[in-house]
Structure 1
Amino acid sequence: MAMKFRLIERRNLGKDAATAPKKMYAQAVNNGYVTFNELCDNISELCSLTSADVKAVLDRMNYELDRNLKAGRIVQFGEIGNFRLSVGSSGSVKEEDFSSSQIRKPKIIFTPGAKLRSTRTNTSFEKAVPMTVTESVPCDLEHVY
């Protein structure tokens, strides 16, 4: 199945901005939303665990991920990939002038595993058909950003 995209016009930030101030760029069209409960139900269908068991395991994995990232460890999440914290700071001329208050909020870096990397490589694209005025799309306002 191909991932759908639409074209939107945006300001051109490239070197040719003087000759083409606006250009068309691709934007992914999401094909729905999978809730945590749906994900747990789908996983439980494929194994002998109940949905509650899957939720408990994932909840504990989240706790362990948090605990180990705070301890400065890289967390390997099986074939999914690795998580690690990355920090940046403002600079100091001298080492003794540096304070931990200069460190910015850490970022969580995710490095996908081989399967997810191949997903990025093997994804095909197709232009989304614009909706007509008469079509309606269910909207979950809780997840609109």
Structure 2
Amino acid sequence: MSTPRVNLKVQRKKNPRDLSAPDRYYVQAVKTGNCDLERLAYLIANQSTVSEADCLAVLHSFVHNMMDELEQGRVVELGHLGNFQIKVSSLPSNSPEEVGIENVKSIGVNYRPSLKIKKRLKKIKFKLQK
């Protein structure tokens, strides 16, 4: 099996805070495709004695229950995978009395990888495409 490699490309970007500033160049990972729940179920089924349908059912249940837990304000701890938690971005107010639900600008999910994932990420090989 070959060593996994993430391709990188050079991407020119404008400064959104100063559109008159010269463009800058950044390294960006190249997307090679997507992996959905069906693909994960297929891969897991081929590495175990569990059927693809059973794997898919468990993954769908997992997503449903993870969302239920996040909606309750809980941190979802997934061992070697890491932790997931609801995050909120909000607009500022001048006093605590002025703060309300309308201050909420966006809602998302924070992911904090486990130490095992962090170590694995450091081992990824990269190739810069010109």
TM-score by length of 1: 0.72
Unaligned runs of 5+ in 2: none
Higher strand share: 2
Instruction: State the distance in 2 between where 1:12 and 1:93 align.
Output: 29
Q: Which residue of 1 aligns with 2:14?
A: 11
Q: 1:98 to 1:123 in 2, by over 3 A?
A: same
Residue 12 of structure 1 deviates from its aligned partner by: 6.1
Q: 1:38 is paired with a residue of what secondary structure?
A: helix
State percent identity of aligned pairs.
Answer: 24
- C-alpha distance after superposition, 1:24-59 (max 9, x if no partner): 322212233333322211101111111111111111
Instruction: State the distance in 2 between where 1:74 and 1:88 align.
Output: 17
Q: 1:53 to 1:127 in 2, by over 3 A?
A: same
Q: 1:73 is paired with a residue of what secondary structure?
A: coil
- C-alpha distance after superposition, 1:109-140 (max 9, x if no partner): 011112321232111211236xxxxxxxxxxx
Q: Which gives a bigger RCO, structure 1 or 2 (Cα 8 Å, sep 6+)?
A: 2
Instruction: State the distance in 2 between where 1:115 and 1:50 align.
Output: 28
CA RMSD of aligned residues (A): 2.4
TM-score by length of 2: 0.79
Contact map agreement 2:37 2:59 (CA 8 A) in 1: no
1:1-145 pair list within 5 angstroms: 1-11=4-14, 21-128=22-129
Query: Which residue identity is paired with 2:7?
Result: K
Unaligned runs of 5+ in 1: 130-145
Greater Rg, structure 1 or structure 2?
Answer: 1
